[in-house]
Structure formats: structure tokens, C-alpha cells
Structure 1
Amino acid sequence: MSTADATQMIEQRWGTFYRWGPYTLLGFGVLMSVATSGVVGMGPGEWYVSGALVGAALAVQAWWGVLAGSRPGPSPAGTLYYALRWAIAFVLTWINPFFAFYAVAGYFGAERLLPPRLVKPGLFATAVIMAGSQSGGLPPRDGLGWAVFGGLLAVNVVLLAVFAHLAVQEDQRARDAATTIVELERANTALQQAMDENAALHAQLLVQAREAGVADERRRLAAEIHDTIAQGLTGIIAQLQVVTNARDEKLAREHLDRAAALARHSLGEARRSVHNLSPTALEHDALPEALKKTVTEWAERTGVRADFTVTGPAEPLHEEIEATLLRIVQEALSNTARHARATRLGVTLSFMGDEVTLDVRDDGRGFDPLATVERTGSGGFGLDGMRARAERIAGSFTVESEPGHGTALSARVPLVRHG
């Protein structure tokens, strides 16, 4: 419920009281006056006057009920209504003190009916009726009665001032609370807009990541074709040229065997490149299972002991995150098989709050990363590719290696959940 709705509901409730409350209070005053008429000593003439005044009060109230809708704030008509109601209540209470129940209505709505300069006089006039009723009726019969009346009037005025002050404070607190609620609604709206913008930006980044991934795959495939398949074909051609010119059948057979081995190797490289173009390992398995199978198959193919470990509560990740981490592991394993001469390798996937960490360590011959950069002008195609993959999804990639002491690769990427 908004602030405006809550305010409207409160105003409707008070509007119902202002319209029907005086009727109820008048009715209760009539009942109490009838019940106590014998004690008070009301004569026939007083009954006639009381009846006429009750009828006048009903007429005044009905008149104001018709007029109130067009005059919601202080107005001359509201002042006249308040004065007529007070005068009727004063005379009724003079006749029977229990008619003061009707006079209580003067405490409510004075701010709605009277101009600001008349609010306090109007409340004081109502307090006079209440003090007269509480002191035994108007007018006081002797000096003691006047003293009691004066004391009760003072008490009523003090209580009225106290309650008015509390009402002002409560009204200010209500206004402050309403202002706070409005500010919170604005803040929530701004926050929701920011979240929507972030979601749109995230979707745009994913689209750009996919596009960059396509370009990266093209560069990777071109580099692998150049480094493996093209070199293999060059070697095959060289071996066949030797066979063409060879007169020794044994020598020709040896070169043919070498050409066949190069062809098989090139075919394997081609299959590997095509396989890496699309992460089929993720079609049926989540990332941890896919990484475990990849590491296990690599260990069986190379004969190197390889272990895979998962730490932290595993969660389903976004497809781009899973594909990136799988590609990094595949590239790291390929580099290790080609260059590291390792006897042991470990892959660790760690789920840590709002990020995922992938570590690949081997005990191979290692290398000097700075010397590699100086020699090639980059960190090597494989390292650059892994770093580019990680950075494309707002991650980071680090390499720690030293000749003779193995290599450690670490990729840290944000934990973006599936869906």
C-alpha cells in the first residue's frame, strides 16, 4: 500500500466519524439524560426545551452533512456549524450535565472547521462545557462550586494543551514517516531501474562475449592449423619427396612409415581442433563432471598421472563460464603434453562465494614467463588464448613457472549461475 492510499484510508475513517460521530454522541447523551432526569430534577418545561434543542441539533447536523462535501477545509459555514453545535450543547448541558457527551464533539475536528485564529477559543469554549458538567452542572450554586468549576476548567485546559502538543508531535512524526516512505519508494524505484540496466548490460556483455569467442576460436583454429596440421602436411610432402627419389626399398619404406605417422598425427590434431571448437563435453555433463572426464582421458592418453579435485559447494554455472573454464583446461593440458614433460598434474576447481577459481599445476620442466614474452613478443599463443578467455568474462589469468620447478596456471572468474 502506498503512502497516498494509507492517507486516503485514514481520511475516510475520520470523515465517517465527523459525519456520524455527533449523532452517536447526541443519542448517548439523550439516553443518559433520560436515565438521570429524576436525579437532576428535570421539569416538564426543561423536557420541552431539551426536545426542541435535540431536534435543532439533528437539523444542524443534517444540514452540515449535506454541505460538508463542498467545504472540506475551514470556512465561514464551518465556523457557523461549530458555533451552533456548541451553543446547543451548552444549553443542553445547562439543563442536564450528561448532555456533555454531545459537547465532546467540539474537541474533534476544530482544525477542520475553524480558522487557525479561532481553534484555541473554540477548544476553550468546549472545555467550559466539560468543566461545568464535571462540577455538577451549570451554573455553580455557590463559591465552592465556582472554585471546583475553575479548578476543573484549569485541568481541562492543561490536558487539552498537553494532548494538543502530543497530537502535533504525532502529526509531525506521521509526516516524517510519510516523507521517509516516499523517499524509500523513490530509492526502490531507482534501484530497480539500476538492476534492470545491469541485467540489460549483462545480457549485452554475454552477446559480445559470444561474438568475441567466435573470433577467438577462429584465431585459435588458424594458429593450430598452422602449428600442427600445416607442419604435418609439410613433413609428409618432404617424406614423400624422399621416397620419390629413393632407390633403396628399405629407405623408402622407412620414409613412408614416417609419412604415415605424420598423417595419423595430423589427423589427430585436426580432430582435436574440431573437438575444441565446440565443447561437446558439456552437452550431457556439468562442468565438474566434464573436467573430470577430460583430465582422466588426458591421463590415459599421455600416461601422466593426473588428479582432479573440486572444493566448495558446486553450483550450476552460466554456459559461457563453463565453456571458458573447460577450454582453458583443454589448452593447459595440451601445452603440458607438448612441452612440460611432466610426471604428475593436478587440476582444482574451487567454488568460493562469488567467484570460481581454476588451478592447473604440473611438475614439468617449467619455463621463464618473462623470457618467453621477450622471445615471442607475447606469452605464447596458448597462454594468450587462456588469458583472453578469462578476461573476456571479467576474470583474470596468472602464470607461475620457473625452469625445473613446474608450472602453475590459475584462472579466476565471477560465479554467474545458470539462468
Structure 2
Amino acid sequence: MADKPLRLEGRGAGGAGGWLASACRLILNVRAGILLVTLVSLREEEHRGLVVAAILVAGVASLVPVLRWEQIGPIIVRHPSYLAGELVLAALILILTGVDSPFFFFTLGTALLGGLVYGYPGAALFSIMLVLVYAYAIHLRAPFDAAVNDFRTVVVLPSLYPIVAVAGAGARRLLDRQAAAEETLATQERTMAVQAERERLARDMHDSLAKTVHGIGFAALALSRRIQVDPPGAVEDARKLAEDARTAAQEARELLSGLRGRDDAELPLPTAIRSEAARWGERTGTRVGGSLDDVGPLPSLALRELRWILKEALANVERYAHATRVDIHLRRLGARVVLTVADDGAGFEVPDDLDQLAGGSFGLRGMRERARLAGGDLSVESEPGDGTVISVWVPAGAPPRQVEGPEPPPPATAGSGTVPEGAVEGFTWQ
């Protein structure tokens, strides 16, 4: 499974979370490492003990926000006094170690934090303060350190403070915009997912539960009249009505199971088709034939839509075609999986535009929408009095795994010798 792409999180209501928390932790950790390098590179100086103590205090001040950012981060964002107070300690260390020591890069981290946390106003404030601290350190060390008077030390190094601070402020603006854009995109994706789920549920209810309940309503109206004129026939109608009610209950359970997230992928597609065709053939008394190949694994969306298309196609055969036989074929053709449902019923004239068949209802248009939702399409071939062929294809997944070694012979059934591959016991699969 491919890794889910990372999404840049915004700073949140407190302004200290998301990308800012991650960036500040990273900078604070790097600054702690610079302190360690400064400590190791100390020369023998008169104030060595004081320098070590100041570096240890600065290390603790850098590590505490890393460990407790959830509590301390919002305070730092609201009050610049943390970084301002840290500058006093940084000025002391910079004076004692010299501007050419590794500690200079620690102060660059302070400039970067000022721009990231407080934006352009913070970049201006902290870059000015750092330049003043740097100039004061040079002034104090000038009498006994000749190296502080070269061009690199006097001009190049202090100019890095405003550059780094402005870069931090620019990164803040860019990251805020990107986080906002990704949040907007995520919101739109959630909205589209909700809309798609509503449309799927509407199709599922129309293709199953709504039609069954509609039929129950008509049957119940007719039953009250038939009881008076044909009591024996009314008994049979009552049995059919009870069967339709059980069917409606089953369809409602399937819809609820889908809402709870049950995945159709747990049942192989050929098995699901055999089961559905067997139930339909037994209920309607229509002969069912065809062949079902192993087409390999398919995405759950394609599995669900193919099953619903099959149900709707069989329901249309029962309602309109008055067929005596239905053939169902499932095969893999290159990069496509094709499901075909053919009947020998009444047929009809197919218009050039398939959407004209459906009018305002879902019908065949809904079946085509399902096929396209799964990344495929649907076609219809029919002539009046010559039956109907509905073909739907979806993109194929991985090829089916080949069984190593000889396959066991197919089971035999009475009167037919053997049952072809993909057959359902009790039905004729050709």
C-alpha cells in the first residue's frame, strides 16, 4: 500500500502548533548542538568557568521548550520576552567567547526564530537587537583581539542577522499559506466525499430498497381487493408480499452494513455473482447460464458497483424483459474486467444516447454512472424481440494468481456429466 502523503498542518488556534512547533523544535535542537560544539572548542581563558556556566544555562533554556513545547510554545508566541531575555545571556557568551567562535551560529538561530515566530515585525526587532549585541561584543574585545577588525567580522557576519531573520519571516508566510491551502483542499475533499457517499446511497436505495418497497405498496393495495373476489389467490399474493417484505429487510441490512464500512472485497467477485444469480434464478424460475473466470483482486469500489449493476440488470430482466434464460459472463480482457448480462427477452430499441433511456430516473443511466464511478463504462445492445445484452467493464487489478500443480477435476452433477469452471451447483452454467 502506498504511503499516505503528508499534509502540512497549520499553527492552530494558539498559533504555536502544526508546522511552527516542528520547525521550532528543530532549530532549538540545532542550537543545543551548537552549544555543545562551543563548549568543546573553548580555549584556555581567564573566565572559562563563567563561560561554561553560561553555556549550560543557555542549553537548559533551549531544551526546556523542546521537551515542553505544548505548554511553553504558546507563551513564547504570545510574549517575545523569552527570546529577548535569552539575548542577554547570548551577549555575555558572545563577549566571552568572541564573535569568531561557533556560538555565533547560535545567535543566528535566534534571528531565525524571531522571524518564524513573530513574522516581519519580529525579524526587524531581533535582527536590530542582535546587531547591537554583536557590535557591543566587538567593541569590548577590540583592545585585546585584533581579529575583530577585519571586513568579514565587521561587515559580513553581522549582515547575516537581518538576512536570516527576514528568511524566517518569509518562510512563515509561505508555510502559513501552504497550510491554509492544504486545509482548504482537505475540506473540499471531505465535502466531495460526503456528496459522493450521498449519491451512492441514493443509487443504492433506488436500485434496491425503494423499488421493493414501492412494489410492496402496490401489492398491498391490490391484496385488499382480491381478498373479496378471490380468497385463494389472495393467500398466494400474501405469501409473495411477505417474501417481498423479507427482501426489503435484507436490502436494508445490506445498506446499513455498507454504511458501517463492511468491505465487499472480503467476498471474491465470482463467488458473489454466483450467489446473487442463484438466488435470483431460484426466486424467478428463470434459467441462468454463463461462465465466470477468475479475474484477480479488484478495488472494493469496483466490486461493490459491479454487484449493484448485476442486481439492477437482473431486476430489469424480471420487470421488463420476460426472458426465459439469462447468461452471465465474467472475464478479464487485458487491462479490463468485463461483466456481461444477456437475456432472450423482449428487447427494445436502443437510442444513440444511452442517457435518453433513463429520463429522470436512475435506471440504465444509474448503472452507467456506477460503471464510470469505478473507472469504467457500460454499453447496451438490444433489438425488439431479440433480447438485450448489457456489458460493463472496469479497470483490472493484479492478474489472478496461477495455481501451481494439477488442478482437481470439477465436481460432477447428475444429468450433466461435469460442471464447468465457475458453475453454481443446481444451475446450468455454460
**TM-score with structure 1 setting the length:** 0.47
Larger Rg: 1
